[in-house]
Amino acid sequence: MEKVAIIGTVGVPARYGGFETLTHQLILKLQKQMDITVYCSGKIYKKEERLKEWNGARLLYLPLNANGPQSILYDVIGMIHALFFAETLLVLGVAGALFFPIIRLFSKKHIVVNIDGLEWKRNKWSSPVRRFLKFSEKIAVRFAHVVVTDNAAIQRYVREEYNIQSELIEYGADHVSFQPLMKKYFINYPFLKKNYAFNVCRIEPENNIHLILEAFSFIPAHILVMVGNWDYSEYGKMLRAKYDEYKNIILLDPIYDQRMIDVLRSNCSVYIHGHSAGGTNPSLVEAMHLGLPVVAFDVNYNRETTENKAFYFSSSDDLENIIRMNNIRAFDNCRYNMQEIAKRRYSWSSISEKYQNVIIEKGEEKVYSIIPEVVMQ
């Protein structure tokens, strides 16, 4: 079987995050076709939680964080170790991409990279970090054998920016399931008895949390429930302090129980998606699979994902007007469209098959003699 090392993810079993869920599902779907090794973060999985293998995949733990400043070393160490046994390196993200040219120079290992969203565009990063991420993206695209993009808008960007055709492989969503209401849930979440809008995400400016909260602060008759890491940043702390007193706004800390998240999502009246950066967002396609009417921030990534059939907002006024409209027929039509798209495009069987193809069908080698310079405007 093809020996594959998956590098750049926090680890499995998945607890959160798009790459973690992707890795989780690839193992479940491809364990009989491939010999898979996954590098996991020893900072996240405590010693008593660590498994040597999971569903046939070998798990190796590195004493570093998979995200943040340590992600570069985390990825590079994983790649160096994988060179001794793996035939294909499936690298998730571009943090360690500066090591790609060295791999290409000294080995014939097959490099498949998922470049994620356009991380360098995020405002949360300082200018030096953004320059580094942009440079890493360019190295990743130039020196990987296969570049995977998860959204048609990012695929177009890679083609126009680097003159390279990437493989479009989105995310699956059929790991989530509708969860009916049970009386025991009302104890901790009494709002489940009412109509409410719902959102789950990282609390970051690019997810437009401030716009969403502002909109609902002006419509007290409509309940908003948001789940996120409010205490992780000053941005989150500021928003929680400002909006915690509104009776119609319920701010919950992170919930890592997939079933409980599905309960809260399944029974909302509308899903609010504020992401403005990245590509095909996992939480969005999961909401679509559950058949939720979606109100998404108006950017090309979200329009590509929802095929222009959701509701879209660019300001708090836009969102307020959409929620006030509360047109049941229009929301029901949106609900139907979202679920139809998800069933057609976002199944893990289809996604896994595409990854299997790009891993096994190695194609022709790309050869580059020097690392191109990057000048970020």
295 and 208 together in one domain:
yes
Domain with 289 in it: what CATH number?
3.40.50.2000
Three-state SS at 358: helix
pLDDT value at position 121? 66
DSSP secondary-structure letter at 230?
G
318 and 353 together in one domain:
no
When divided into structural domains, the chain yields a total of: 2
12 and 32 together in one domain:
yes
Three-state SS at 284: helix
Instruction: Determine, yes or no, domain membership for 106.
Output: yes
Q: CA of 184: how far to CAs of 135, 166, 193, 290, in Å?
A: 51, 47, 12, 22
pLDDT value at position 373? 37
Instruction: Determine, yes or no, domain membership for 365.
Output: no
Instruction: Determine, yes or no, domain membership for 178.
Output: no
224 and 118 together in one domain:
no
Instruction: Determine, yes or no, domain membership for 313.
Output: yes
Instruction: Determine, yes or no, domain membership for 355.
Output: yes
135 and 189 together in one domain:
no
Report the alpha-carbon distance of residue 258 to residue 235 in Å, rounded. 26
Report the alpha-carbon distance of residue 31 to residue 24 in Å, rounded. 11
Instruction: Determine, yes or no, domain membership for 305.
Output: yes
336 and 355 together in one domain:
no
Look up residue 254 and give its two tokens: 């992170």
Residue keyed to tokens 């047109």: 327
Instruction: Determine, yes or no, domain membership for 143.
Output: yes
Enter the pTM of the model. 0.89
pLDDT value at position 69? 85
Asked if 309 and 337 touch (Cβ cutoff 8 Å), the reply is yes
pLDDT value at position 80? 97
188 and 294 together in one domain:
yes
197 and 260 together in one domain:
yes
341 and 353 together in one domain:
no
114 and 134 together in one domain:
yes
Q: Please state, as a whole number, how many other Cβ atoms lie within 10 Å of the Cβ of residue 369.
A: 5
Contacts of 126 (CB under 8 A, 6+ apart): none
212 and 131 together in one domain:
no
Contacts of 36 (CB under 8 A, 6+ apart): 4, 5, 6, 26, 27, 30, 56, 57, 58
Three-state SS at 326: coil
pLDDT value at position 368? 43
pLDDT value at position 120? 64
Instruction: Determine, yes or no, domain membership for 234.
Output: yes
Letter for the amino acid at 217? Answer: S
Contacts of 324 (CB under 8 A, 6+ apart): 219, 222
233 and 284 together in one domain:
yes
Q: Could you tell me the residue range of the domain that residue 41 belongs to?
A: 2-172+349-360
Averaged in consecutive runs of 10 residues, what is the pLDDT profile of the chain (377 residues)?
95 86 96 96 91 96 90 95 97 95 95 85 75 92 96 94 95 93 94 96 92 97 96 94 96 90 95 91 95 96 96 97 88 96 96 95 50 36
pLDDT value at position 221? 95
